Amino acid sequence: MDVLERIAEQVRSNPVVIYMKGTPKFPQCGFSMRAAQALQECGVPFAYVNVLQDPEIFENLPRFADWPTFPQIYIDGELVGGCDITLELHARGELKAMMERAVAKAQAGNA
């Protein structure tokens, strides 16, 4: 499978996914750490991809949605943005609602 197809499948099959350097428990970049922390504080399950363990994704993800940096957060198949945007949404109380809607939509589609 082509790397862009793999990314598209990951984004489609996970209501919330963060592409980050490291993992939520062991982030390897301050921006990834803060974004993952905001997602965790929402209490809604999310998937993650450690881009440092997949050089193909690391090299090609910036082309996928024309976003040059990491982390990248996708909710309901759409790029939300990176660390700053995620933290702003969290501070305004919007991030949790977005995540909950995406998870509920995915669960309804699987029912």
Q: What is the reported pTM?
A: 0.95
pLDDT for 36: 98
**pLDDT surpasses 80 at 111:** no
**pLDDT surpasses 90 at 1:** no
42 is in an annotated binding site: no
Domains recognised in the chain with CATH numbers: 3-96 (3.40.30.10)
Phi, psi of 103 (to 5 degrees): -65, -45
Q: 47: closest CA among 29, 83, 27, 73?
A: 73
